[in-house]
Chains A and B, each alone.
Chain A
């Protein structure tokens, strides 16, 4: 809870809460460009295994990553609730994340986030936020996008 004082300036942040393998994850809404339904994904040979392939997003070719595979979970089984979150970390580069379900937008005060302090630097989760309906793990987008992985 060392961050409380620092965080007071921008108290609240909005997150998109998504479901992956029965757990809630939160993604900072500022990163998100778009949320699209599942669509045909074209496999890219010889790509990292956690990349499902590329999709056609209104004329642009966007790579799509399976968060399940990235986190070392079971492979996706796409259902009617599956969605692709389009993230735009840079102006010219988009990337999609496949999630099981998009739940809602949650507003979490910074003081309600418990920062994970003792895990490795490159952890995919920055901290755990508390909101009315439970706990949500806040994703560290940069770590997820980073090429380097603990086990590869």
Chain B
């Protein structure tokens, strides 16, 4: 019984830690024009995207840690859903997006160019 309980506790902790991998603020390095793009993934599954601290895209997302797939809808693209695989690198402190299915061409173009790094809390 103890072993089962401990196993469940470990699995729950692992699940939480992996799901939490995405939560937080992520930002790009400045572009050649000095623009910084960022995304804030909240624990309540809402997110906000911004450029140069100007928020402009908002929506809800789900993230499956087993296959690192992000699914979301936002206030642009007429409610079309985007599905992307997230690739974590540099000790999971950087991510990029690979489109699995997104028929919103402009959004897809922007997402596939984006490489963002975790903004560590001060």
> A and B bound?
no
